[in-house]
Every structure is written in C-alpha cells, then in structure tokens.
Amino acid sequence: MHNLKELKIWQKAIDITKSIYNVTKKFPSEEKFGLVSQMRRAAVSISSNIAEGAGRNSPKEFLQFISIANGSCYELFTQSYISYELEIIKKNDFDVVSDEIKQLQNMLFAFSEHLKSNYLKS
C-alpha cells in the first residue's frame, strides 16, 4: 500500500527506537529485564505497527495500526517518565526522548486525519 521507507512517521519511529536503545544502555544492569526490556519493546512496537499498517490492504486497517502505534508512544512516554522519576534517566535524556515522542504523536495524529479525510469519506 505504501513505500515504507518513504513514510516520515516510520522514519521518526526508527529514530526514536535508536534513541531509546542508546539511552537504556546507561541503565543499571538490574533493569535489564524490567524497564530496559519494556522500553525497547514499546519503541520497536511503534515502528512495527506503522509497518504492519502500511502493508495492509485498506486505509481503515492502516488507521487501526496507527492507533496502536500511538498507544505504544504513550506507553513509552510513561516508561521514560518513570525512569526519570526514579532518577535512572537524566533530565536531558528524558527531555530529548519525550520531545521525540511528542513530535511522533503529532505526526501520527496528522497522518490519521489524512487517512480519514482522503480515504474514509462517508
């Protein structure tokens, strides 16, 4: 349905995943199977859901996967916030990650509105 590598939302999601992997490298080893694992899975889930939606045969299905990706953004923000509150992640790292997540959420919202208005007209 879409050329995945040209989708800016997918590119941004990949960038967030790289940021999360870099930030979580600094986490204490006891978090390897806790926050590190959950944050990495949530980050990967965002781009994976965008990709799965792009590969579907209908805009309605794509919209559903965009919604799931957005949910994973909220999950990732929450995990980042918890990490910040527990003083595992530094303020600067938290600010960068949360800004990237917010940017992607805005992009996902705009893209979903585009899908609705151009492909799901009543």
| Mean pLDDT of all residues in 4-15 | 96
Per domain, the residue ranges of the chain are: 4-119
Is 4-119 assigned to CATH 1.20.1440.60? Answer: yes
- pLDDT, greater one: 121 or 114: 114
User: Taking 60 as the threshold, does the pLDDT of residue 94 lie above it?
Assistant: yes
Per-position DSSP letters for the chain, written without gaps between them? ---GGG-HHHHHHHHHHHHHHHHHTTS-GGGTTTHHHHHHHHHHHHHHHHHHHHTSSSHHHHHHHHHHHHHHHHHHHHHHHHHHHTTSS-HHHHHHHHHHHHHHHHHHHHHHHHHHHHH---
pLDDT at 1: 52
User: Taking 90 as the threshold, does the pLDDT of residue 57 lie above it?
Assistant: no
